[in-house]
Amino acid sequence: MKLFLSMLMFLFVAAGLNADLYSDFRALVDLNASIKSLASQPEQIRKDKIYLLEGTIASLQVVDKDPQRFYAEAVFISAEWKDKKQLFGYKVSLIFNRNEFSSRIFNRPQGAQDEIVSNSRGLALVKYEETITLPDGSRSPVFSVYDFKLLK
């Protein structure tokens, strides 16, 4: 993730973008958020921000496979060890509802390079939609996905 952020900063400098444009970008995109921070405090999530999250697709379900109405839901997770004894997991829900995802999630040849499947690790560029209560009583923030970059 730090490499990605460094590359992003380099692109801004290399492109000769002025400080105002960079400032506008930082006002819109939160690069410091994580699945942990957003899942732990959903009431702090801002609707006017776009978030870049790193995690793993734990489950993926296609609800409507028609490319014009494509809709899929995923659970996006991250985890951390505490004192090398306990593993803590965090999750948010993702909605893939842009038609370009239909070619990456459904009807892809098995093993395609940009295929999004369960256990795909990646960066998700997302916007907050709502927080839902799950059957177990826990709350999960829901985000619409603008883009998804697979990490190998």
Model confidence pLDDT, tens digit, residues 28-78: 899 899 999 999 998 899 999 999 999 999 999 999 988 889 999 999 999
pLDDT number for residue 13? 55
- C-alpha–C-alpha distance, residues 22 and 47, integer Å: 20
Find out whether 95 and 145 touch, Cβ atoms under 8 Å.
yes
Residue recorded with tokens 């505490």: 82
Band the pLDDT of 114: cuts 50, 70, 90. confident
- C-alpha–C-alpha distance, residues 144 and 11, integer Å: 26
Region 84-106: mean pLDDT is 90
E-strand spans in the chain? 29-30, 50-64, 71-82, 86-96, 121-133, 139-150
pLDDT number for residue 143? 97
pLDDT number for residue 23? 77
Start-to-end CA distance of the chain, whole Å, equals 12
106: exposed, middle or buried (Cβ count in 10 Å: 0-12, 13-18, 19+): middle
Among residues 124, 105, 126, which one has the least CA distance to residue 114? 105
User: Residue 102 pLDDT > 90, yes or no?
Assistant: no
Region 85-114: mean pLDDT is 83
